[in-house]
């Protein structure tokens, strides 16, 4: 086990009182105490409108982002984002390269200043462009793990993990106690004297996690934390991180372009595209009921078959496919009205497609189409099979190894109506 058992009192074990705005600072302490609700920017006091602040408060949300935007020149990296991160959840920003994930995380951490918008953390504003509020990064009480880990090579494991406590002027004995406790937590007990460069990739990653957790932040920010690890270690770290997160009950914001990572680790996911959130929901919601073709195609594999709608009655749409011998497919459909003759696409996830050897006969099930095995890849427990449907349509499906498949074989694909989704064009 990479991450060992949880400390008995994770947050309660220390006498230190944590405040998201770093209220150990006398100026910021006023923020909490003042009836007038003041905040600080560059040492200046700025009045905070209590009505607006109250509107940002919601007991469940650790982070509330409203109308957040950031451009770099003509690139709108984040565009009017609204989202909440709830206490104890893993919230993931998922999307392709350049969609604005890291910029969002950096805005939250305080490494970038937004052009517009507000961020509240623990019910208090830490960023408000309109009110001139920007709490500095080191007072935001967020732990961060970078893609590169960014551990210091000239320091031992102990000193790396102790660093955030030293900068916070924690006493020597307490530093020792907390560093050792955190190293135990991440499974690095006994390695405290090891220099940074003499660690494996997985160990460096754990040092980075320990360093982010040692000051008991209320939010852990993870930017592509597993991308430098090999596939097996990545899988292992994923599971261990999930267990650790559940035990500590800490809120996590994860940034990744890896859909498996997002689906397996998250309580909720925001799928981003070109600076916008396309859909927010549980992993099952975004995977099973995608709100847009972008989300549908980005998450997992999908077979998309173009066609023409031939009827739509009582929750059923019938579509004549453009390829596959102009087969008709009957689909469950309760969306917006579709006109007869309208161009549509029908989509289905490959894992719910059944594959049967042989040609399509008169007795074949409804919603079945013929295909030809183009390539078979042996995976050990099954085959990955690329099937050609019509001239330019392909689907990758897994088929059992217990049946003898041969490249070039004709097969029948069964497309259950309840798993088909219809997308008007
Ligand atoms: P990746 O997965 O590749 O890290 P991302 O989704 O995290 O991508 P961002 O790094 O947030 O994307 O970048 C969003 C957009 O903003 C991109 O077009 C990027 O080139 C641009 N961008 C980000 N930071 C800067 C910067 N400091 N200066 C100029 N452009 C930037």
Can you give the residue ranges of every domain in the chain?
26-288, 303-424
Q: Burial of 387 by CB count in 10 Å (0-12 exposed, 13-18 middle, 19+ buried)? A: buried
Quote the pLDDT of residue 425: 85
Q: Which residues contact residue 257 at a Cβ distance below 8 angstroms, ignoring those fewer than 6 apart?
A: 94, 95, 96, 97, 101, 224
Asked if pLDDT for residue 19 goes beyond 90, the answer is no
Cα–Cα dist 310/275, whole Å? 37
Highest mean pLDDT among 77-86, 217-226, 329-338: 77-86
The residues pairing with 308 across neighbouring beta strands, listed in sequence order, are 320, 343
Query: Which of the listed residues 70, 95, 103 should we mutate to test ligand 1's pocket, taking the one with most ligand atoms within 8 A of CB?
Result: 103
pLDDT grade for 344, boundaries at 50, 70 and 90: very high
Asked if pLDDT for residue 18 goes beyond 50, the answer is no
Distance, CA 125 to ligand 1 centroid (Å)?
25
Share of the chain above pLDDT 90, in %: 52
Closest alpha carbon to 76 in 85, 84, 64, 68: 68
Asked if pLDDT for residue 65 goes beyond 80, the answer is yes
Query: Which of the listed residues 75, 78, 276 should we mutate to test ligand 1's pocket, taking the one with most ligand atoms within 8 A of CB?
Result: 75
Asked if pLDDT for residue 363 goes beyond 70, the answer is no
Taken in order 77, 82, 86, 89, is the CA torsion positive or negative?
negative
Strands (E), 282-351: 303-313, 316-321, 328-332, 343-348
Report which protein residue has its CA nearest ligand 1's atom 21.
77
Quote the pLDDT of residue 225: 83
Cα–Cα dist 272/92, whole Å? 10
Closest alpha carbon to 160 in 132, 138, 188: 188
Q: Which residues contact residue 381 at a Cβ distance below 8 angstroms, ignoring those fewer than 6 apart?
A: 401
pLDDT in tens, 71-91: 999 999 999 999 999 999 999
Asked if pLDDT for residue 61 goes beyond 70, the answer is yes
> Ligand 1: which atom is nearest the Cα of residue 102?
7
Quote the pLDDT of residue 138: 84
Share of the chain above pLDDT 70, in %: 84
Asked if pLDDT for residue 23 goes beyond 70, the answer is no
SS3 content of the chain, % helix, strand, coil (to 5): 25, 35, 40
pLDDT grade for 364, boundaries at 50, 70 and 90: low
Report which protein residue has its CA nearest ligand 1's atom 11.
100
End-to-end CA gap in the chain: 49
Distance, CA 96 to ligand 1 centroid (Å)?
11
More confident residue, 390 or 333: 333
Report which protein residue has its CA nearest ligand 1's atom 18.
98
CATH 2.40.50.140 correct for 303-424? yes
pTM given for the model: 0.79
Average pLDDT of every residue of the chain: 83
Distance, CA 222 to ligand 1 centroid (Å)?
16
Closest alpha carbon to 63 in 146, 163, 150, 135: 135
Asked if pLDDT for residue 311 goes beyond 90, the answer is no
Quote the pLDDT of residue 362: 56
Distance, CA 103 to ligand 1 centroid (Å)?
6
Quote the pLDDT of residue 36: 31
More confident residue, 238 or 410: 410
More confident residue, 37 or 180: 180
pLDDT grade for 185, boundaries at 50, 70 and 90: confident
**What value does the mean pLDDT take over residues 33-58?**
38
Strands (E), 192-233: 219-223
Report which protein residue has its CA nearest ligand 1's atom 16.
77
Instruction: Tell me which residues have their CB closer than 6 angstroms to ligand 1.
Output: 72, 75, 77, 95, 97-103, 257
Distance, CA 97 to ligand 1 centroid (Å)?
8
**What value does the mean pLDDT take over residues 44-66?**
58
Class of domain 26-288: alpha beta
């Amino acid at each position: 086990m990479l991450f060992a058992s949880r400390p008995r009192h994770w947050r309660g074990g220390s006498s230190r009182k944590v405040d998201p705005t770093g209220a150990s600072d006398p100026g910021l302490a006023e923020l909490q105490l003042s009836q007038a609700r003041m905040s600080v920017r560059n040492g200046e006091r700025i009045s905070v409108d209590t009505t607006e602040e109250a509107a940002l408060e919601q007991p469940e949300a650790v982070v509330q982002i409203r109308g957040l935007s950031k451009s770099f020149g003509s690139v709108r990296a984040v565009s009017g984002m609204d989202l909440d991160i709830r206490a104890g959840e893993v919230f993931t920003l998922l999307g392709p390269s350049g969609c604005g994930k890291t910029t969002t995380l950096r805005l939250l951490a305080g490494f970038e200043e937004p052009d517009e918008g507000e961020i509240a953390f623990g019910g208090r504003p830490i960023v408000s462009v309109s009110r001139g509020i920007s709490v500095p990064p080191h007072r935001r009480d967020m732990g961060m793990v970078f893609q590169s880990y960014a551990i210091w090579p000239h320091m031992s494991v102990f000193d790396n993990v102790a660093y955030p406590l030293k900068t916070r002027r924690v006493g020597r004995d307490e530093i020792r106690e907390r560093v050792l406790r955190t190293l135990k937590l991440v499974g690095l007990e006994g390695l405290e004297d090891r220099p940074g460069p003499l660690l494996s990739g997985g160990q460096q990653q754990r040092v980075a996690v320990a360093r982010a957790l040692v000051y008991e932040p209320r939010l852990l920010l993870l930017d592509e934390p597993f991308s430098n690890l090999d596939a097996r270690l990545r899988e292992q770290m994923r599971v261990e991180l999930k267990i650790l997160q559940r035990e500590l009950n800490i809120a996590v914001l994860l940034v990744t372009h890896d859909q498996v990572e997002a689906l397996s680790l998250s309580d909720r996911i925001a799928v981003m595209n070109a600076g916008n959130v396309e859909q927010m929901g549980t992993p099952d919601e975004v995977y099973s009921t995608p709100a847009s073709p972008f989300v549908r195609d980005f998450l997992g594999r999908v077979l998309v078959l173009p066609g023409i709608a031939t009827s739509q009655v009582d929750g059923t749409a019938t579509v004549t496919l453009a390829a596959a011998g102009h087969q008709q497919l009957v689909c469950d459909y309760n969306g917006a009205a579709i006109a007869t003759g309208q161009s549509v696409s029908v989509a289905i996830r490959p894992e719910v497609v059944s594959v049967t050897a042989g040609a399509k006969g008169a007795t074949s099930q409804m919603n079945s189409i013929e295909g030809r095995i183009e390539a078979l890849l042996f995976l050990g427990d099954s085959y990955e099979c690329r099937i050609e449907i019509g001239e330019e349509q392909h689907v990758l499906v897994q088929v059992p190894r217990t049946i003898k498949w041969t490249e070039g074989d004709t097969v029948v694909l069964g497309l259950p109506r309840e798993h088909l989704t219809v997308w008007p064009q």
